[in-house]
Amino acid sequence: MAETNARESTRTVRRRSDGERSRAAILREAAQLATVEGIGGLSIGRLADAVGMSKSGLFAHFGSKQELQLATIEKANALFNEHVIEPASNAPTGLERLRALVEGFLRHVEEDIFTGGCFFASVAAEMDTRPGPVRDRAVQVVDEWLRQLEAAIRDAQAEGAIGPSEDAEQLAFELNAYMLLANAQFVVSRASMPIDRARRAVERRLATADIAARI
């Protein structure tokens, strides 16, 4: 009896593990699709066609279009954290962390982590006038990104690498603007020039912030 229960438990764990891997693969495809066709057009039926599954098979993972969209945002956020936020977290200073965040963002665009460029730039632009849980969660993630930039700037100010007169929120806004324009132009042109221009713009802006620290 105990042996039978153990086998049943093993099979249950294996099925759960297989289901989690399947869900993760589906959501990765959904995130790619959303940056190309829009998250508003992301539906159980459209995704089923893209991944070669039946609608009923997808319904086993997501009960509604909104649930699918929200789960896709969470998957995209996990990917963004993996490729942008986490690599910067071990930087020894605030200024180095800020540079790592910027470089991580630009690299994740350049390396096509998402087919249509930055997932959250795409979704925020698409959903900005459409109230609801999907828009709210996308906006929340964008705000969290800006807070990451601001926190690194404030740490750099505390360390004396950025002048105390700099407005951390304003500086984060400016740096993010460079990155977003680079993202938009890269998606259109598929050329590296916008990414390189953003890198130079960021360094020039940080140079003026460094000068302010020395005055």
**Residues of the chain with confidence (pLDDT) below 50:** 6-7, 9-15, 18
Are residues 34 and 123 in contact, defined by beta-carbon separation less than 8 angstroms?
yes
Distance CA 152, CA 155 (A): 5
Phi-psi region of 190 (alpha: psi -120 to 50; beta: other; left: phi over 0): left
Distance CA 201, CA 199 (A): 6
Q: What is the pLDDT of residue 19?
A: 56
Q: What is the pLDDT of residue 58?
A: 79
Q: What is the pLDDT of residue 214?
A: 66
Distance CA 195, CA 183 (A): 7
Give 41-93 pLDDT, tens digit per residue.
888 888 888 888 888 877 778 888 899 899 999 999 999 999 999 999 999 99
Are residues 30 and 73 in contact, defined by beta-carbon separation less than 8 angstroms?
no
Q: What is the mean pLDDT of the chain?
A: 89
Classify residue 92 by its DSSP letter.
Answer: S
Q: What is the pLDDT of residue 5?
A: 53
Alpha-carbon distances of 179 from 11, 39, 139, 154, rounded to whole Å: 47, 21, 17, 20
CA-CA-CA-CA torsion sign (183, 188, 191, 197):
negative
